[in-house]
Structure 1
Amino acid sequence: MTVEFVHSPLLTFVVGLILVVLFLVVWDLPAFVGLGLAAFSVGIVNSVFVSDFALVDAATRTAAAFGNGMEGIGIPILMAAIIGKSMLESGSAQRIVRTFQSLVGRENSEFALWGSSTVLSIPVFFDSVLFLLAPLARSMRARRGKNYALYLIAVGAGGSAAHVFIPPTPGPLAVASQVHADLAMTMAVGVAVAIPSATMSGLVFGHWANARMEIPLRDSMGTTTEELEERAQQSSSSLPGTFEAALPIILAVVLVSSLTILNTLEPLYPSLAVVRPGIAFVGDKNVAMTLAGLTAALTYLRWSDLSRSLWEDELTEALKSGGNIAAITAMGGAFGALLAASGIGPYIADSLRGIGIGLLVTAWLIAAIVRIAQGSATAAMLTTAGIMAPLTSQLNVHTAYLVMAIGSGGIICSWYNDSGFWLMKEIGGLTQMETLKTWTALTTIISVTGIASVLVFSTIVPLA
């Protein structure tokens, strides 16, 4: 082992990788416990090799990162648990599934999920879209009795592609700002890159994977498999109407989108500033998801024969399930944050800064390695944007392509140090191996297809 390796953040990354595999795969510890131990252990290594990292920081920074994660996802996940439980138990999810199937055909349900996920993830955070559409994927599986892998991949691929390619989602929006890319052109190029990426990962790979693995329905989000299958056999007359069934999703999307729309229109119409405080409040994802959760819960009460006390008990059970999911997801983010504290992102970026390949491929490679090392797609994208911004004058194509190259690298290979990995696993009711074979694979396919699309489009239509 060289001195350079011992004193580099690579040691921390290797230790973290070994420990998380040991705790979660070999010893099969509960995910929250294993991720917590891995985060503490990475912190201990940091205290030895990182100058401004004390031993006590191994504890305090893990707790702080966990708290920050809960701040961002705690309320939305808990409300998502209520929405999922209520939509499944009231029959709302079944009604939406049957409406989709009547529109696109029973054999093409994945197109409805894929398209919905892609479009909704443009104005709304991807995690919120996953919360809202996962119950539909589960209901489709219960009704069809097959294709669960395909449905989950369709939801994950469409939303993920929009998440890293199409402003005004935060990642590409922030990168476009840093590299001074025209926003309208970035949106246009983002759509062009997202379509083949989402198609290859969600539909082509989805069908390929679905033919090779059968993922069973498992109890998840406070709803048992038996309850799902029972709801799938209900007569249409006993289900809520389509509008009432879809109202929680519509409400969440409209409220969260309202702030995005206001941010777009206010520079053109300054008088809209007067409504900003109210829009900022209801457009906050915590408030929007709470209102959507209340709407779904009331529909559940109206369409069930439960007493109010039993209805409350059912919602409490859903909250217990949501709390577990939130804790695991936040701790996965904390593990990634402790890896990032080692300085692995800047270390990798500096090492790759001048390796002598094209700027677009260099940007993709830097973002990809930083993403794999520290977990966060957004952090990888912003780290890479900071490095590439001074080099944009050397580009012979439009800077929007640079944004797409960075986004392609930033989405690659979501695994144990990414909170999104745990979110998909827990909400979908998957095993770790199933999550690796579906979620990790589809994020990698988005990445590879994305950079290939960037290189092709930038060659044919440089826009410079």
Structure 2
Amino acid sequence: MIPLLILLLGIVIVVGMIVGLRINAFVALITAAIVISILSPGEWSIRIARVATSFGATAGSIGIVIAMAAVIGVTMMSSGAADRVVQAFIRFLGQERGSPALAASGFVLSIPVFFDTVFYLLIPLARSMFSQTGRNYLKYVIAIAAGAAATHALVPPTPGPLVIAENLSIDLGTMILVGACVALPATVLGLFYAGWLDRRMPVPMRDVPGVEITTPQLSQLPNLGLSVLPIALPILLIAGKTVFLPLLGSDTVLVRWILVLGDANMALLLAAIASTALYIHMRRPSRKELSTVIEQSLMSGGLIILITSAGGTFGAMLKEAQIGPAISGLFAGSSGTSGIGMLLLGFGIASLLKFAQGSSTVAMITASAMLAAIITPESLNFNVVYLGTAIGAGSLVGAWMNDSGFWIYSKMSGLTEVETLKSWSVLLVILGVSAGITSLVLSIFLPLT
């Protein structure tokens, strides 16, 4: 069967099952992978087996990291460590700079913690600040969303960027460093938009069931250094491996330790141990309570592992279908044009998938899987990490009422649907486009080849 028709059929299956039939993304992606595998070249005896093999390979690559990240997120929330990080930003920047403090808190916390959890944590602080100042409520709400959404889409170990790195064979440390550099200016632009819209569309703070105005006392929270440790430790270990290993070179004891500790699985495991130990120290839970907290975090991470592994399988089957050679001719020409074309293609595909089915994570997984089947070393004249950040940027554009983040933002902040479209949807366009432009500019002037 013609490879491009196989690709089109795979996209129709994924989007049709998720949007039309409201079926879970895992089932949609694995079904599409099986159909593509059956239609692709190869012995009939392996056409189903290779799907299971690819699924297992992807799960083996990212399963531990996602599971440990889920444990870190839940235990940081339960121990008060996340609250302590937020309080530190507010004390450092001051109440008069409340929106930058909230944006910085969302930016940092959304690296290991899922977006909806971060927003739920920070929205009471936005309400508390409005109660004290009587103004800028919408500015505070948008600031939280700007920081949290940017790193959610661009910085591992959040599942979407993590799978982008896995699918495109991007060094994880490089993805963390470059993703943060791309997310930062996007967040700053989001803050400017927050101030601009707040002046032109003042929004009152409305009562929201279940959301209380709370400000935890510092005496009830852990030490700042210990609170930051579960976030800083894996970033330093993974990024340190990326930075220092090329400089050291030879096979020494130090190099061996860097290889072990800088491995993403080990780094996240150590961070999860540190976060869990802090939770035990602060809350003194019973064995049953501790077991429940860990199990809940692993259950939330389990579904993400299934979806991301299915996405990796989908991409592997596209490779079996020879999608890459079929599409590469469309981007023939000079190497520079081809590389820029790939960035635009990755951004565009992720945006269309986001608009069609609502989930940024599914958009990142599917788009990166498709691009992994297309790109070759000759098709890019820059580090593939910029294609990864372009896909992450594209996954932010196109947020509307089929996006779960739309309703989390709307219902927890007390905004109407129209106010949410004007603030949340436009904000994500600004974040996505600015991050995409930053990726393009960096790929030209800092190719990292």
TM-score by length of 2: 0.68
- 1:419-434 alignment runs, 5 A limit: none
* 2:89 is aligned with 1:95: no
CA distance in 2, matches of 1:274, 1:453: 35
CA distance in structure 2 between the aligned counterparts of 1:133 and 1:380, rounded to whole angstroms: 25
Aligned amino acid, residue 92 of structure 2: L
Instruction: Please provide the CA RMSD for this pair.
Output: 4.6
Residue 41 of structure 1 and its aligned partner are, at CA, apart by 2.0
Q: How does 1:47-446 map to 2 (within 5 A)?
A: 47=39, 50-52=40-42, 54-104=43-93, 105-109=97-101, 111-112=103-104, 130-131=111-112, 134=115, 136=118, 138-145=120-127, 146-147=141-142, 148-156=144-152, 159=155, 198=183, 201-204=186-189, 208=193, 232-267=214-249, 270=250, 273-354=252-333, 359-369=335-345, 372=349, 375=366, 377=368, 380=371, 384=375, 386-388=377-379, 402-403=381-382, 408-409=386-387, 411-413=389-391, 442-443=431-432, 445-446=434-435
Tell me the distance in 1 between the aligned counterparts of 2:167 and 2:310.
22
**Equivalents in 1 of 2:369, 2:35: separation in Å?**
24
Contact 2:58 2:309 in 1 (8 A): yes
Aligned counterparts of 2:260 and 2:336: Cα–Cα separation in 1: 39
**Residues 104 and 147, structure 2, Cα contact 8 Å, conserved in 1:** no
**2:30 aligned residue (32, 36, 42):** 36
Q: Which residue identity does 1:150 align to in structure 2?
A: A
For the 8 Å contact 2:151–2:183, the answer to whether it is kept is no
1:13 CA displacement: 1.4
CA distance in 1 between partners of 2:180 and 2:233 (Å):
26
2:50 and 2:395 map into 1 onto residues whose CA distance is 16
Determine if contact 1:412/1:444 at 8 Å carries over to the other structure: no
Q: For 1:291 and 1:360, how far apart are their aligned partners in 2?
A: 41
Runs of 5+ unmatched residues, structure 2: 128-140, 157-164, 199-208, 351-364, 410-420
Contact 1:282 1:288 in 2 (8 A): yes
Give secondary structure in 1 for the equivalent of 2:100.
Answer: helix
Query: Is contact 1:78–1:319 with CA below 8 Å preserved after alignment?
Result: yes
Is 1:16 the counterpart of 2:1 in the alignment?
no
Shift of 1:32: 1.6
Deviation at 1:307, TM superposition (A): 1.5
Which stretches in structure 1 are left out of the alignment for 5+ residues?
1-6, 118-128, 161-168, 176-185, 213-224, 390-401
Q: What's the CA shift string for 1:213-246, capped at 9, x where partnerless? A: xxxxxxxxxxxx96xx679542221111111111
Tell me, in whole angstroms, the C-alpha distance in 1 between the residues paired with 2:227 and 2:150: 21
1:27 is displaced (CA, Å) by 0.6
Q: Which moved more, 1:235-244 or 1:104-113?
A: 104-113
Q: State whether residues 37 and 47 of structure 2, in contact with CA within 8 Å, keep that contact through their aligned partners in structure 1.
A: yes
* Structure 2 partner of 1:180: none
CA distance in 1, matches of 2:23, 2:393: 17
- In the alignment, the residues of structure 1 paired with residue 30 and residue 395 of structure 2 have an alpha-carbon distance, to the nearest angstrom, of 11
The alignment partner of 1:363 has SS state of: helix
Amino acid at match of 1:11: L
Give distance in 2, aligned partners of 1:261 and 1:453: 18
What amino acid sits opposite 2:37 in the alignment?
Answer: G
Letter in 1 for 2:336: L
Look up the SS of the partner of 1:131 in the other structure. coil
CA contact (8 A) 2:394 2:433 kept: no
- For the Cα contact (< 8 Å) 2:335–2:378, is it kept in 1? no
Whether the 8 Å contact between 1:349 and 1:384 is mirrored in structure 2 is: yes
Change (3 A) 1:33 1:341: same
Q: Equivalents in 2 of 1:309, 1:242: separation in Å?
A: 27
Contact 2:146–2:427 (8 Å) recurs in 1: no
